[in-house]
Amino acid sequence: MIHLTIDNQEIEVEEGTTILEAAQEKGIFIPTLCYHEALEPYAACRLCAVELEGKRGSRLVASCAYPCEEGAVIHTDSEMVRRSRRITVELLMASSEHLPLVKALAAQLGVAEPRFRLPPDDCILCGLCVRACRDIVGIAAISLLNRGMEKRIGPPFEIASNACIECGTCVLICPTGALKLEDITKEEKAIHRWGSPFDRRPCHICGDHDLEPHLSLGPHSILGEQTSGEE
């Protein structure tokens, strides 16, 4: 058993328990977004950050993934924590201010107006759908595409997924209702446009030949040149 202090409460937990689990047992509320009981901790949203006192000063750790340590002193609602969460929520608000979920968080933490603006987007990139598909269903039909500002959710290469079994677990688990099944299975997406940046080859591993499009060259790309050459 491990002993620690969360918000001045002495707590005794099993080894391997995370800070979030320990807090939940005591009824201490820590907000979360990307956390799900049926999935491994992901520590992506940083909303569950808590303050962990240490010899060289305090630091923030993601409580969903950080295991309880003997003698640890943790604050879940200190100024440091609130400040971190306010910034996290402010960043979320940049593109998703319209979502009830984000609105509620903003109201809770007292963030009125974000300093940043991005085009509105329902998806907050918590990755729950991706992880549920992979770890609960066992399929991995969707993934996180691209990086940084371009990051979004979709089937690999944004081509209608052949692997998707349409069980709807991703849609169910999505906290914001951003995902629809047709985003994954919609047929039109199977067609690559001319000039697509991908080098199209069938996959060595899965043989998904959807990657190999049938491209039609319009007559003008061939004959247009020819006629202009003759003139």
Partner 1 sequence: MKDNLKIGLFICDCGGEIASYLDTEALVMAAEQLPQVALSQRMPYLCSRRDLMKLQEAIRGAGLNHIVVAGCTPRTHEALLRSACREAGLNGHLLEMVNIREGCAWVHSADGERAMAKALDLLKAGVARASLSEPYEGVKVQITPSALVIGGGVAGMTAALALAKRGIAVKLVEKEHHLGGLLRNLHALYPKEQRASELLKCQIEELREEPNVEILLGAQVSEVTGPVGNYRVVVTSGGAERAFQVGAIIVATGAQVQKPFGLFRYGTSKVITQLELESLLAKGDLQAEQVVMILCAGSSDENTYPSALCSLTALKQALLIKRTHPKVRLTLLFRDLYLKGDNPEADIRKAKELGVEFIQYGPEAEPRVTAEGVEVYDLLTKQKANLPYDLLILATPLIPQEDVTVLANRLKIPLDSHGFFPDVRLRLRPHGYIERAIYVCGAAHYPSDLRETTFQALSAAARAFNFLKQKQIISEGAMAAVDAALCTGCGSCVEICPFQAINLRPKDGLLSISVVEPTLCKGCGLCLPACPVKAISLQGDSDPQLTAQIQAILSSEESKDRPLILGLFCEWSAYAVAELAGARHLQYPPNLRIISLRCAGRIDPYHILWAFLNGADGVLIGGCLPGKCHYVRGNQQAEGRVAKLNDALAARGFEIERVRLQWFQPDNPSAFVEEISNFVAQIEALGPRVTQDRRSQDGAAEKRSLGAR
Residues within the interface to partner 1 (CB under 8 A):
14, 16-17, 21, 24-25, 36-38, 132, 136-139, 162-169, 171-173, 177, 180-182, 199-209, 212-217, 219, 221-223, 225-227
CA-CA distance, 198 to 206, in Å (whole number)?
Answer: 18
Question: Of 118 and 165, which CB lies nearer to partner 1 in the complex structure?
Answer: 165
- In angstroms, rounded to a whole number, what is the distance separating the alpha carbons of residues 200 and 212? 6
Choose between 146 and 162: whose C-beta lies nearer to partner 1: 162
- Nearer of residues 9 and 226 to partner 1, judged by Cβ: 226
Which of 80, 81, 70 is closest to 28 using CA atoms? Answer: 81
Coil, strand or helix: which one is 150? helix
Q: Among candidates 77, 85, 92, which has minimal Cα distance to 110?
A: 85
Shortest CB 214 distance to partner 1, Å: 5
Coil, strand or helix at 137: helix
Q: State the minimum distance, in angstroms, from the CB of residue 70 to partner 1.
A: 18
Q: What is the nearest approach in angstroms of partner 1 to the Cβ of residue 65?
A: 14
Q: Indicate the residue among 54 and 168 with the shorter CB distance to partner 1.
A: 168
Q: How far is the CB of 204 from partner 1 (least distance, A)?
A: 6
The CB-of-179 to partner 1 minimum distance in angstroms stands at: 8
Q: Which tokens sit at 15?
A: 């080894």
Least Å distance between CB 164 and partner 1? 7
Please calculate the CA angle 16-44-116 and round it to the nearest 5 degrees. Answer: 150
Closest contact distance (angstroms) between CB of 64 and partner 1 is 12
Considering beta carbons, is residue 149 or 216 the nearer one to partner 1?
216
Distances (CA, A) of 50 to 83, 131, 142, 182: 11, 24, 31, 38
Residue 118 or residue 172: which is nearer to partner 1 going by CB? 172
CA distance 51 to 83: 11
Give the nearer residue to partner 1 in terms of CB position, either 146 or 226: 226
Note the residue count of the chain. Answer: 231
What are the tokens at 185? 């299975």
Alpha carbons 22 and 45: distance in angstroms, whole number = 19
